[in-house]
Amino acid sequence: MSIPLYDLALSSTGLNGDQLRHLQRLVGNWQLLADLCFSDLLLVAPVDVDNPHRFMVLAHVRPTTGPTLYPAELVGTVVQEVERPVMTQSWQQRVSKSDFVKSLLDGEEFLGVEAQARSNCIPVYFDGEVIAIVDMESALESGRKSGELERHYLEVFDKFAVMISEGSFPFDRDEIVLEEGARVADGVIVTNENYEMLFASPNAVSVFHRFGIHAFALGTRIQEIGVDQVVLERARLTRLPEFAEVEQGEVSILIQAIPLISNAEVVNLLVLVRDVSDLRRRDRMLLSKDAMIREIHHRVKNNLQTIAALLRLQGRRLESAEAREAIEEAQRRVRSIAIVHETLSRETSDTVEFMEIIQPLVGVVQETVSSAEQQLEFSVEGDVGVIPGAVATPLAVILNELMQNAVDHAFPYVDGEVSQGKILISIDRIGGILEVRVSDSGVGFPPGFVMADSEGMGLSIVRTLIGSELGGSIEINDSGVPGAEVTLRIPFN
């Protein structure tokens, strides 16, 4: 695993925090540069500023538009002066802005891993001084003549190189990196400061053809071909990259406008375009799927509430106290599951906020404490954020059973006395374990109580769900202190 640029530079060079942040912004944006120059880019800095004969490779990016010179990882390696004299020369001379382009074009040949290669060094200028060097390395291809597209890309790269040497690139803010952001291979348009097209790559032309735009005469303003140039105007005004997405029918195009600056003036605009129609179509399908899942949860919740209502009506018709109690228990269990589905029906994912489940569950159990002889206080401590729906459903049933057990058995009624007590649910996440503790201030467990031997329906449900559904464990506190405590531990990422 490669060492992060910040840590590597801090331990191996004399760069300070502001300088390192500038280099981090550069590295965060330089895949675009590598693709424009069809070359590997190495970010290097001298190990000793006063004796620049050894350079530490702080970062390395390979082009996606061409072959790499280096299949192996270079970050953390040291380049000696004898290997790249041009690095030491560039550092010592601190190439001036006026001489920069000539210096870049001259470069230096060296023997690469498999063939002759060329190295061109670009000084990274920041806050009045050169702090590092970008080494552009590419294979020499004798007899090969660059095509028009390659020449245009290299011209744009040269402008970025000048910006690096002037300190105007990277831009003075952390860029928003879109996962579906446009790349060089997707489509490139170059305009002048008046938004007149100077170049359009074949892929860019194809993207706009799918958008219904077929007139691509160079020299015309980009708005004249039917493309809103507001994003270009914003980029020129702010001197920062700007994004926009345009839609027409089923076609969606992502546009990124990047200002190219020279001598503090915007001289060109690089426009990257990408057809994101398929991505947006998939997004709509996912939204439709999410809506369908929420609707299913909503219907399940409604059906469960209907079942609970039927059980309640049935219980009222029963004369046997034991039968009514069994019906009430079944009703509570159904309602606890319905609470989870109700919460999931409001979410856009298959996870739920744990607290949104616990509070309604407490309310369900509190409804059973109806007599004036029993005054119980419920409280919840802690929070673990969201949990998967697959965990929430069995856990809701378990908590319902444990709280109801405390209500039924921890505070026995004694003639003439009001039974008072507290029931506490505390939750925590310890590493990869979700820990839920249900405790009360009641009479505690009976002597010799063993959870595994309990034949009660409620605890049987708890044991089954915690073991088979959640893969967790259950533990009781039988230390002799007042009250009872049950701890659930559930593996949870």
Residue 3's pLDDT is: 56
Mean pLDDT of 422-436: 88
Residue 258 has pLDDT above 70, yes or no: yes
Indicate the range of 108-112, 155-159, 289-293, 325-329 predicted with least confidence. Answer: 108-112
Residue 493 has pLDDT above 70, yes or no: no
3-class DSSP string for the chain: CCCCHHHHHHHHCCCCHHHHHHHHHHHHHCHHHHHHHCCEEEEEEECCCCCCCEEEEEEEECCCCCCCCCCCCCCCCEEECCCCHHHHHHHHHCCCHHHHHHHHHHCEEEECCCCEEEEEEEEEEECCEEEEEEEEEEECCCCCCCCHHHHHHHHHHHHHHHHHHHCCCCCCCCCCCCCCCCCCCCCEEEEECCCEEEEECHHHHHHHHHCCCCCCCCCCEHHHHCCCCHHHHHHHHHCCCEEEEEEECCEEEEEEEEEEEECCEEEEEEEEEEECHHHHHHHHHHHHHHHHHHHHHHHHHHHHHHHHHHHHHHHHHCCCHHHHHHHHHHHHHHHHHHHHHHHHCCCCCCEEEHHHHHHHHHHHHHCCCCCCCEEEEEEEECCCCEEEHHHHHHHHHHHHHHHHHHHHHCCCCCCCCCEEEEEEEEEEEECCEEEEEEEECCCCCCCCCCHHHCCCHHHHHHHHHHHHHCCCEEEEECCCCCCCEEEEEEECC
Higher pLDDT residue, 9 or 208?
208
Residue 98's pLDDT is: 41
Which stretch, 196-200, 336-340, 411-415, has highest mean pLDDT? 196-200
Residue 340 has pLDDT above 50, yes or no: yes
Residue 168 has pLDDT above 50, yes or no: yes
Residue 102's pLDDT is: 45
Which stretch, 130-134, 274-278, 367-371, 391-395, has highest mean pLDDT? 130-134
Residue 96 has pLDDT above 80, yes or no: no
Mean pLDDT of 467-482: 79
Residue 310 has pLDDT above 70, yes or no: yes
Residue 157's pLDDT is: 94
Residue 57 has pLDDT above 80, yes or no: yes
Residue 400 has pLDDT above 90, yes or no: no
Mean pLDDT of 378-396: 84
Residue 10's pLDDT is: 67
Mean pLDDT of 77-90: 78
Rg of the chain (C-alpha set): 34
Residue 248's pLDDT is: 77
Supply the mean pLDDT for the chain: 80
The span from the CA of 487 to the CA of 437, in Å, is 4
Which stretch, 2-6, 105-109, 202-206, has highest mean pLDDT? 202-206
Residue 127's pLDDT is: 87
Indicate the range of 293-297, 380-384, 438-442 predicted with least confidence. Answer: 293-297
Which stretch, 30-44, 93-107, 291-305, 439-453, has highest mean pLDDT? 30-44
pLDDT in tens, 15-53: 888 888 899 899 988 999 999 999 999 999 888 877 778
Mean pLDDT of 328-348: 77
Higher pLDDT residue, 103 or 160?
160
Residue 260 has pLDDT above 90, yes or no: yes
pLDDT in tens, 138-154: 877 654 556 888 899 99
Residue 347 has pLDDT above 80, yes or no: no
Residue 139's pLDDT is: 79
Higher pLDDT residue, 479 or 32?
32
Residue 105: band (very low, low, confident or very high) from pLDDT cuts 50, 70, 90: very low
Higher pLDDT residue, 241 or 96?
241
Residue 1 has pLDDT above 50, yes or no: no
Residue 103 has pLDDT above 70, yes or no: no
Residue 458 has pLDDT above 70, yes or no: yes
Residue 261's pLDDT is: 92
